[in-house]
Amino acid sequence: MKIARFSRIGFILAAAGSAVGLGNIWKFPYITGEYGGGAFVLVYLLTVLLVGFSIMIAEMLIGYLGRKDTVSSFEELAPTYKDLWKFGGFQAMAGLLIMIFYSVVIGWIFNYIITSLEYLPANVKEAETTFNLMLQSDFFTQLFYHTLSFVIITYTLTKGIKAGIEKINLVLMPALMIILSGMFIYSLSLDAFPKAVEFMFAADWSKLNSEAFVIAVGHAFFTLSLGMGAIMTYAASMEKGSNIVKSAFWVVFLDTSIAIVAGLMLFTFLYQYGSGPAKGPGLVFISLPAAFYEMGILGNIFAVLFFLALAFAGLTSAVSLTEPMVQYFMDRFAFSRVKASVLMGLFFWFFGIFAILSNIDGTKEYLFWGGKSFFDWIDYITAAIMLPAGGFIMAIFVGYVLEKSRVEAALKPFLKWAFEPWYFFLRYIIPIAMFVVMLNLMGVL
C-alpha cells in the first residue's frame, strides 16, 4: 500500500492550519481583554517563543521518527518501559474533548456568516440580546450548525491526508490570510489603531495575577496546537528528510503573527466604532458586530468576510484535533479511515449537544458545577491542564527517554550550533517552568 504523505508546503500549511484557529481569532482577543492586555500578551509571547517553539520541535520529532499514531509512536520510540510510555499518546483524547465545544463554536460562526449578510445589531445591547438568544434559547439553530460543522469535518477526514487534510488547508489557509490582511490594512487607516497597539503591548503588571499567568501559558499551548498530538500526527506523514526546525519555525511564526494581526485589527475596530475591548467569549459575537453596524453596508461585507475567515481557521484546526484519534483507531484496531472518521465525528457531535445544552435556559442548571458550565469546564481542563501536561511529557520524552544520538541525527543538521542550547532548554528549563505553572494552577503560589 502506498502511504500518503504531505508535500513540504502541504505539511507547513496543514500544521499552521492546525495552529491558527479559533484560539487566535476568537479566544486570544477576548482573554487578552479579560486579563487586561499588555502584560498578559507578553507572558503569552514569551511562552510561545521560549517554550512553545522548543516543544514544537520536540513534538514534531516524535511524530516524524515514530511515523504512526501517537500511542504507537511513543511505544515504538521508548527504549524501555514501552507500556508505560504509550500512555503519553493517549493525550490525543484531549483533541476529541476540545472538539466538544470547538465544533459548537464553529456552528455559531456559520450562523453569524448567514445572519450578517443582511442583519447587524444596532448597538452592543442589541448585539448582546441577539447572541444570548442564540446561546440560551435557540437550541435547534445551534444543533443545526454544529451538525453542519460535524459533517464538513468528518467528510474531510474520510478523504485522508492528501485529498482531505492537505487539500482543505491549501485552499482555506491562503483564503484566510488574504481576508485578514485586507481587513488589517484597512484598520491601519483608522485613527484608533495606535490605541489598539497600546492596549496590546503596554504592560500593566498589576493586572497579571496567577490565574492570568496560567491562562497565558495554557493559551500558548492551545494556540500552537501543542501537547495533544495534532502536530505529532501530522508530522508522522512528513516527507523523509524534511527540515523539522524550519517547519516548526514557520508554524510558530504564522500562528503568532496571525494572532497579533487579528488582535490589533479587532481592537482597532472596537475602539473606533464600538465600546473598546470587551471581555468574554462574546467579544467577536457581540461587540464586533455592533461595531461593524456603524460602518453601514461595508460593515456587512466585513462581518461576512470576518466570520468566513474565522470559520476557515476553525475548520482546519478541527480537522487536526480529530485526526489523531482517527489515526489511532486505524493503526491499532485496523479500522477503515471512513469508519474511524465517522466514529470520532459522532463522538464529538454527541457530546457537543451537551455543550449546547449547558448554555440553554432550562437545562443549563443541570450541567453546571463549581462555578463553570460543562462547556467551560471542557475548555478549562483541556487548555489549562491537559495540553501543558502533554507538552511536559513530550519534553521529558525527547529530553531524557529518546536516545540522544537519534535526536541529534534528526535535528543537528538543521539546528547546528543551536542544538545543544535547545537540548539543554528542553531538559532543564522547560520542566522547571512547567512545574511552576502547575504549582500556580493548583493555587499553591
Q: Catalog residues that contact ligand PHE under the rule CB under 6 A.
A: 18-19, 21-24, 95, 98, 222-223, 225, 228, 230, 317, 320-321
Closest approach of Cβ 228 to ligand PHE, in Å? 5
Question: Residue 26: exposed, middle, or buried by beta-carbon count in 10 A (0-12, 13-18, 19+)?
Answer: buried
Closest approach of Cβ 109 to ligand PHE, in Å? 12
Closer to ligand PHE at the Cβ: 180 or 192? Answer: 180
Closer to ligand PHE at the Cβ: 16 or 77? Answer: 16
Contact criterion met (CB below 8 Å) for 442 and 77:
no
* Dihedral Cα 212, 214, 217, 221, nearest 10 deg: -120
Closest approach of Cβ 33 to ligand PHE, in Å? 17
Closest approach of Cβ 235 to ligand PHE, in Å? 13
Closer to ligand PHE at the Cβ: 93 or 127? Answer: 93
Within 13 A of 204's CA, how many CA atoms are on the CB side? 10
Give the integer Cα–Cα distance in Å for 284 and 270. Answer: 10
Within 13 A of 116's CA, how many CA atoms are on the CB side? 30
- Spatial neighbors of 119 by CB under 8 A, at least 6 apart, are none
Closer to ligand PHE at the Cβ: 115 or 223? Answer: 223
Closest approach of Cβ 169 to ligand PHE, in Å? 13
Closer to ligand PHE at the Cβ: 146 or 273? Answer: 146
Give the integer Cα–Cα distance in Å for 375 and 383. Answer: 12
Closest approach of Cβ 423 to ligand PHE, in Å? 25
Contact criterion met (CB below 8 Å) for 104 and 355:
yes
Tabulate helix, strand, coil % of the chain (nearest 5).
80, 0, 20
Closest approach of Cβ 195 to ligand PHE, in Å? 26
Q: Provide the residue type at 222 as one letter.
A: F
CA 116, 219, 269, 260 dihedral sign is negative
Closer to ligand PHE at the Cβ: 14 or 430? Answer: 14
Closest approach of Cβ 225 to ligand PHE, in Å? 3
Closer to ligand PHE at the Cβ: 119 or 249? Answer: 249
Q: How many CB atoms lie within 10 A of CB 189?
A: 8
Closer to ligand PHE at the Cβ: 27 or 68? Answer: 27
**Residue 313 grid coordinates:** 481557521
**Residue 89 grid coordinates:** 499518546
Within 13 A of 306's CA, how many CA atoms are on the CB side? 28
Nearest to 224 by CA among 33, 434, 387: 387
